Chain A
Amino acid sequence: MYLDADARKCTGCRVCLTICSLYHFKEVNPKKAALSIDAKFPKPGKYEPLICNQCGICASVCPVEAISENNGVYIIDPDKCNGCGECVKECPTQVMFLHEDSPVPIKCDLCKECIPVCAPGVLFVKE
């Protein structure tokens, strides 16, 4: 089970990024969100949402075994994580983020908060 996107519908508004940071960190900052949007302008004029597909590579590369799977969702244990950034480096979709405010990388926990506020209906859960 993971978050998926119909990229053709994305309008690049970034509301998913704002709600992600507000829900998890109680503050608004798109750079502290567990997804991002690549804007391809002026040509061809498309947006590409980059989102975690819960592939688990982060868990397999973590040197301190801080990332574990629960019902198909990979979660970082902040008590075990040493912030080395190996998972961020190895993430194939580049959707794990380091931010100076956060001792552990920022990663999608499939909270699904972003789905209902995405007006054009880009985001959905894939079983």
Chain B
Amino acid sequence: MDIGTPPSNREELIMFGYAGKTLRVDISDGKVSTEPLSDRLIRDYIGGRGFAARILYDELKPGISPLGPDNKIVVASGPLAGLFLPAGGKLTFASKSPATNSYGDSNVGGHLAAEIKYAGYDVIIIEGVSSKPVYLYINNDKVEIRNAHKYWGKGTITSEDIIKNDLGREFEIAVIGPAGENKVKFACISHDFGRQAGRTGIGAVMGSKNLKAIAVKGSKSLKPADPDKLLSIGKKAFADCIKHPAWKIWLEQGTAGVTVWSNEQGSFPTRNFQSGYFEDYKKISGEVMVKETIVNNKACFGCPMACGKYARTNKNGKDYYVEGPEYETSAMIGGDCAIGNIRDLTYANYICDELGIDTISGGSVAAFAMECYEKGILTKQDTGGVELKFGDIKAFEHIMNLICRREGLGNILAEGVKTASEKIGKGSEKFAMQVKGLEISGYESRKAPAMLLSYMTCDIGAHHNRAWAIIHDIQAGRDVIAGKSKKVIELQHIRPLFDMLGCCRLQWVELELSLDYYPQLMNAAIGKNYTMDELLKASERVWNLTRLFLIREYEKTFGRHFDYPPTRVYENGVISGPTAGSKIKKEDIERLLDEYYQRRGWDKNGRPTPEKLKELGL
């Protein structure tokens, strides 16, 4: 499946909206080349995760090791990134994931997507493996592989600061920490002192390549096809965001504002998803952060909401600065590890950020280990003498350090809860809270079948961002099964579209910014006539392509069991709070999947039918 032959004179044409080029870097030998974006890639895959999925499907041989030399990292923005519109700052990092052994991607905000486009690139493909620690230096057309010996071993916050001091503060940096260097399978990539491409372990892929960081500076212009139209539509979109009644609370508390609501709904993962309600949630809420820890509101590129909450906490007489905690961190470390104190939680956030650990998977892994300890499956002998109790910040810090160094028990936990539970055994597999090898993020969903189905069918493993369907459960009835797949599929096409366009979805989700804006902005930017339906079709194409990737990797064993949730969901009821007693029947899980596959045009085993693939041009 080739992606089309680019016209030979493309370099001379002005590419509207896009930067127009792919940068390919082989870090084994430092070979650097550029390629023009092909028309077909743009037409069928739009950008961002669409580009990444197509490129990885075409260029990676099935069965390669995610942490071996044959894996590649695709960094891709989209047509709206770096332009004048609300929150055009999203960048996709994609690779074969060490967590799932299938297609993995994770997006990051901040200012990197824009800067890469100003440097002249929509896509960066990183291949090979370096024999020594290096970083990728990009200053417009000047691209070099540089020695990173000085930064290796240092935390993400520390090393970003040093790299900026060395190169100039105007450089935008993506960097891994010691967790990525040691190939922890939930290592993240950090940027802008608090933004992360957190999920699917791409930080470990960078580490496996000995690639510490990517540093980018660009001074080129992006040329919209119709600048006046982009200006007027963009201004209107900003005005709509600012006048929305929810805007003020988002500016004030960011995603942490969701903590109270989530507990009231009984959907706040607590003590490794034993409960959906954390009794200390009021001590870690957004309101408490405003009073106690937030020093500034911090926005991604062009964002009117500024959900980043830059905070300070004090531990043992020392000040620590960190962005967060965001809702997901509050849920997965606050609730799931029962850290019910905002200062400790902020410090836990700092530990993960500095080590370069995804707070979602990291929180879930720590919570899993704490439950193992609670049940006597793990003992002090395993933990190095530490009482690995829920709610203990010292225990949390200890286990994160063990994981990061891959020391003792840490070496097992660094594989993620799926593999760790298989090694630990003794029934722990039943409460390893993951799907496809990726830990479930911050919503307890035994009384939210649409949300559960979202987690079960998410293409990168159990992540909420593809379909945040819990609102639909609340609106349509929390015990209702029939019809839930319709909304899940609709969301699975709309939400990832933002990751293709290169902008954030929260303005639509939270400030009800009309979806009509996006084709308008896109057309003003690139000079085409896309409709929303065409954009959604492209998103469905990508969804099916990532499914094909999964099937190709697991050809012999693939089946609907890949979409099953962990046993806890149907064996144990929620132990407390508004959803106490809830569990979901195994047959309801099968019903959810049957309906979902049918609606998607997939067969009973979850494989896209030939007709569906033909319809999508795959």
Are A19 and B296 in touch, CB under 8 angstroms? no
Q: Which residues of B contact A12 (CB under 8 A)?
A: 298-299
Q: Is the CB of A19 within 8 A of B84?
A: yes
Interface size class of A (residues with CB under 8 A): 35 or more
Check A28/B169 contact, CB under 8 A, given A13-B302, A44-B295, A45-B295: no
Please measure, in the bound complex, the distance between the C-alpha atom of A100 and the C-alpha atom of B220, giving whole angstroms. Answer: 9
Known: A22-B84, A120-B297. A99 touches B219 (CB 8 A): yes
Given A11-B297, A119-B238: A28 and B321 interface contact (C-beta under 8 Å): no
Q: How far is the CB of A17 from chain B (nearest CB, A)?
A: 9
B239 near A13 with CB under 8 A, answer no
Cα-based distance from A12 to B506 in the complex (angstroms): 18
Report if A101 contacts B (CB, 8 A).
Answer: yes
Q: Quick check: B219 and A13 within 8 Å, CB to CB?
A: no
Q: Provide the residues of chain A in CB contact with B161, threshold 8 Å.
A: 41-42
In the complex, per-residue mask of B202-239: 1 if CB is within 8 Å of any chain A CB, else 0? 00000000000000000111111001101100110011
Q: Does B501 contact A (CB under 8 A)?
A: no
Q: Which of B169, B239, B299 has the most CB of A within 10 A?
A: B299
B301 touching A29, Cβ below 8 Å: no
Contact A28 B238 (CB under 8 A): no
A13 cross-chain contacts in B, Cβ below 8 A: 299-304, 306
Docked Cα-Cα span, A31 to B303, in Å, equals 18
Q: Render A4-22 as a binary contact track against B, CB cut-off 8 A, 1 for contact.
A: 0000010111110011011
Does any Cβ of B come within 8 Å of A32's Cβ? yes
Q: How far is the CA of A29 from the CA of B303 in the complex (A)?
A: 16
- Interface: B242 (CB within 8 A): yes
Interface residue from A9, A21, A43 paired with B221 (Cβ < 8 Å): A21
| A29–B221 CB distance below 8 A | yes
Closest chain B residue to A26 by CB distance?
B227
Chain A 36-50 interface 0/1 with B at a Cβ cutoff of 8 Å (1 = within): 001101111111000
> Contacts A14-B111, A15-B238, A30-B118 given: A43-B321 contact, CB under 8 Å?
yes
Across the A-B interface, the 3 shortest Cβ-Cβ residue pairs: A119-B304, A13-B299, A11-B299
- Show 26 residue pairs from A and B whose CB-CB distance is below 8 angstroms, ordered by the A residue: A11-B297, A11-B308, A14-B301, A15-B304, A18-B83, A18-B84, A19-B231, A25-B221, A26-B228, A27-B221, A27-B224, A28-B222, A29-B118, A29-B221, A41-B193, A42-B160, A42-B161, A45-B193, A45-B295, A47-B296, A99-B219, A116-B238, A117-B235, A119-B241, A119-B247, A119-B304
